[in-house]
Structure 1
Amino acid sequence: MSEAAESGDAPAGREIWIEKYRPQTFDDVYGQDDIVERLRSYIERDDLPHLLFAGPAGVGKTTSATAIARAIYGDDWRGNFLELNASDERGIDVVRDRIKNFARSSFGGHDYRVIFLDEADSLTNDAQSALRRTMEQFSDNTRFILSCNYSSKIIDPIQSRCAVFRFSPLGDDAIAEQVRDIAAAEDIEVTEDGLDALVYAAGGDMRRAINSLQAAATTGEVVDEEAVYMITSTARPEDIEEMVRAAIDGEFTAARKQLETLIVDTGMAGGDIIDQLHRSVWEFDLDERDAVRLMERIGEADYRISEGANEQVQLEALLASLALSQN
């Protein structure tokens, strides 16, 4: 079980659980065993290179960076670890000023300091070029850890200077294990179908699972499937499947009615419905031809919605396309 957050003076029951149960050491990190093992070996050999962490949200990138600092510096880690969020400070000035000032400042007792640049794929190309030069200039006394969702947005000269770690979405077992641990620590009863719903709604994102658990725990004494789906505005997988099957069977009116229920009654956004459709295509037991056709329509609707098209219109067009193909 993870330790409570260091600022433990918040009133009981009002702490943010994603911070309260944020892993403090490598031993507390769930679901990234291979990556943790490689990072441990760097620290044990005292041979830490620049690192690039790539992967979706809530899978342990920031946690792994702070765990490295704690392992190297112990109680002094805050003074030797600079965390910057590139999405807030995207220009070249942050690279030239804050990073250089930290890298130049004097320190004792350690061979190098660590600079953690979160959401580095938000940096402009000019800022990344400046960062590359800074990494070269201060390589003797500074190690950089860059975190991003998409490594393809990081320029090649930076990638070639880093050991790249690709974090995958967390497995269902890892999320279920931490949810059980937190529920036990908080004395919350979670039913098996509630646990399954939390894992499904999380989609590999541990932060989302913990936030959903905390929110669902405020609705009653027991966290069950109904509470989770209500709190997270997530559709039951069977509701999504019912809508798709109706469309594939040529019953557009029934499929459209189910879509309207999801948008109006459940409160789902069009993008969330697209995400659930994409995650569930291969769980619907469709024949391969229907699954491939559905994937093609999902991709087209997702692109149009991302470009600003009306969500409901695009989803209805998706269902209509599936229904027409049966006629």
Structure 2
Amino acid sequence: MSDADATGATGREIWIEKYRPQTLDDIKGQADIVERLQSYIDQHDLPHLLFSGGAGIGKTTAATAIARQVYGDDWQGNFLELNASDQRGIDVVRDRIKNFARASFGGYDYRIIFLDEADSLTDAAQSALRRTMEQFSDNTRFILSCNYSSKIIDPIQSRCAVFRFSPLSDEAIAAQVDEIAAIEDIELTDDGREALVYAAGGDMRRAINSLQAAATTGEIVDEEAVYLITSTARPEEIEAMITDAINGDFAKSRATLDTLLTDTGMAGGDIIDQLHRSVWDLGIDERAAVRLLERIGEADYRITEGANEQVQLEALLASLALDDS
């Protein structure tokens, strides 16, 4: 099969790459950040940058879009992308980054080094990175990406313009999946769109991946297809489980939990996340909501530390049922 045929074949392309924005203006849901970044490019005055925020909200896309706009067709030769979570040690900073920063280049004032997941770097590697940023500040610009800026040492933060990317709005995600569905000639129902937005939780990458996966199951992408393919519980299932526990019906609540863990195949951490998102939709008074959040936080901590997921979630439901008795 030729490349052209492969490109047109169903499922041959990963949609998150096929529809990745090529310019800053194409990025949805981060208007204020895009405007500030564009002003740096327009003024030919790009500083070191630090992007922080969750997954799938545009950090890597913004970095590559900057390179494309600064260098045009030459962007790949002047843009080095490294993933710090794969290569955490000080040798990466000393070797690959320094070699790229030292390399000769023509026609441009600086080259760009993009270090993804920079919060995975050890403190020693970050200290080496700080010295490298100082040494090559005349001809190199660094763009660092991380989930938690608090894990980046202060000397690096002070050398960067910090941009905090927020989770994408429901409207931005809905607009993107509608656009892709129209291009791919997919029938996306209203409840299917709402399910994609809910399952994504502000993560555009997850929304697009879910849309592509759901589209392989049939010509229509509806609510049922989305929840099935993403192994996500319907919001009403989560709310019913908690409401039953609060009302003292532990057995019914536990049965719902067992269905989610066993039949739906959800992970305990995912259930915790959906519980947290549903707290203020339960219609309970503020004091009860605060107690629920406290117990969700405790269960989340224990699961993160390696405790049995089912035991911790059942203990959470039991504590809510006992409150009522």
TM-score band (shorter)? over 0.9
Equivalence map 1:182-193=2 (5 Å)? 182-193=180-191
Q: Which amino acid aligns with 2:324?
A: Q
Deviation at residue 279 of structure 1 after TM alignment: 1.2
Aligned equivalent of 2:285, options 284, 287, 297:
287
Deviation at residue 8 of structure 1 after TM alignment: 9.4
Equivalence map 1:145-224=2 (5 Å)? 145-224=143-222
Q: Which amino acid aligns with 1:281?
A: V
- Distance in 1 separating the partners of 2:71 and 2:249: 63
The 3 A distance-change label for structure 1 pair 7 and 23 is farther
Which string of whole-angstrom CA distances, capped at 9 and with x for unpartnered residues, describes residues 275-322 of structure 1? Answer: 100111112222111111110110000000000000000000000000
Q: Which amino acid aligns with 2:234?
A: R
Other-structure match for 2:85 = 87
- Distance in 1 separating the partners of 2:305 and 2:81: 33
Q: Which amino acid aligns with 1:10?
A: T
- Distance in 2 separating the partners of 1:7 and 1:75: 22
Which string of whole-angstrom CA distances, capped at 9 and with x for unpartnered residues, describes residues 146-182 of structure 1? Answer: 0000000000000000000000000000000000000
The 3 A distance-change label for structure 1 pair 62 and 7 is farther
- Distance in 1 separating the partners of 2:267 and 2:125: 34
Deviates more, 1:79-88 or 1:277-286: 277-286
Q: Which amino acid aligns with 1:112?
A: Y
Other-structure match for 2:275 = 277
Deviation at residue 10 of structure 1 after TM alignment: 3.2
Aligned equivalent of 1:315, options 313, 316, 322:
313
Equivalence map 1:122-141=2 (5 Å)? 122-141=120-139
Which string of whole-angstrom CA distances, capped at 9 and with x for unpartnered residues, describes residues 7-29 of structure 1? Answer: 99535221110111011111210
- Distance in 1 separating the partners of 2:55 and 2:228: 22
Q: Which amino acid aligns with 2:137?
A: S
Other-structure match for 1:50 = 48
Deviates more, 1:140-149 or 1:259-268: 259-268
3-state DSSP class of the match of 1:164?
strand
Aligned equivalent of 1:232, options 226, 230, 242:
230
- Distance in 1 separating the partners of 2:72 and 2:283: 51
Q: Which amino acid aligns with 1:111?
A: D
The 3 A distance-change label for structure 1 pair 323 and 235 is same
Other-structure match for 1:3 = none
Which string of whole-angstrom CA distances, capped at 9 and with x for unpartnered residues, describes residues 35-63 of structure 1? Answer: 00000000011110000000000000000
- Distance in 2 separating the partners of 1:140 and 1:258: 60
Aligned equivalent of 1:252, options 246, 250, 253:
250
- Distance in 2 separating the partners of 1:155 and 1:7: 47
Q: Give the TM-score taking structure 1 as reference length.
A: 0.97
- Distance in 1 separating the partners of 2:284 and 2:214: 33
Structure 2 unaligned regions, length at least 5: none
Other-structure match for 1:113 = 111
- Distance in 1 separating the partners of 2:7 and 2:179: 21
- Distance in 2 separating the partners of 1:228 and 1:9: 26
- Distance in 2 separating the partners of 1:70 and 1:274: 39
- Distance in 1 separating the partners of 2:6 and 2:265: 36
- Percent identity reads 80
- Distance in 2 separating the partners of 1:149 and 1:24: 22
Other-structure match for 1:29 = 27
Q: Give the TM-score taking structure 2 as reference length.
A: 0.97
Q: Which amino acid aligns with 2:226?
A: V
Aligned equivalent of 2:18, options 14, 17, 20:
20
Aligned equivalent of 2:96, options 95, 98, 109:
98
The 3 A distance-change label for structure 1 pair 7 and 43 is farther
Deviates more, 1:233-242 or 1:285-294: 285-294
- Distance in 1 separating the partners of 2:73 and 2:41: 16
3-state DSSP class of the match of 2:324?
coil
- Distance in 1 separating the partners of 2:217 and 2:161: 44
3-state DSSP class of the match of 1:83?
strand
Moved over 2 A (4+): 6-12
